[in-house]
Amino acid sequence: DAGVIQSPRHEVTEMGQEVTLRCKPISGHDYLFWYRQTMMRGLELLIYFNNNVPIDDSGMPEDRFSAKMPNASFSTLKIQPSEPRDSAVYFCASSLRGLNTEAFFGQGTRLTVV
């Protein structure tokens, strides 16, 4: 397996634009997580899914953020409208049995909102 695949690797957008980040988890993994990494706050869990169903979205910063998982092999994290403070590296991770087991991270998407 190629591991967790995220796209794009880098995204630069203007404030107010919609941004969509994409993730393909490892095949067979039941759990998918979205994290955000910044210098100020480190690694933060935004939301996670189990069997395509959102379980805990309490880490999503505000209503401008939304995440979907339409099937077992694809998830999106959308920011609309984007703001400069959303600039960060966004990671997707997947695991077989949830948070108390090893999670495999993608390479991340570096988002810059100008």
What value does the CA radius of gyration of the chain take, rounded to a whole number of Å? 13
Per CB under 8 A, the list member of 2, 40, 53, 63 interacting with another protein is 40
Q: Do 91 and 3 contact (CB within 8 A), yes or no?
A: no
d(CA 80, CA 24): 21
Q: Does 87 bind another protein (CB under 8 A)?
A: no
Q: Do 22 and 107 contact (CB within 8 A), yes or no?
A: no
The piece of 19-27, 39-47, 62-70, 75-83 that touches another protein (CB under 8 A) is: 39-47
Q: Does 65 bind another protein (CB under 8 A)?
A: no
At a CB cut-off of 8 Å and minimum separation 6, what does 15 contact?
A: 81, 82, 83, 84, 113, 114
Q: Does 4 bind another protein (CB under 8 A)?
A: yes
Per CB under 8 A, the list member of 57, 66, 74, 104 interacting with another protein is 104
Structure tokens at 31: 């759990």
Smallest gap, in angstroms, from Cβ of residue 17 to another protein? 22
Per CB under 8 A, the list member of 13, 30, 56, 66 interacting with another protein is 56
- Binding residues for another protein, per CB under 8 A? 4, 33, 39-45, 55-56, 59, 91, 93, 99-108
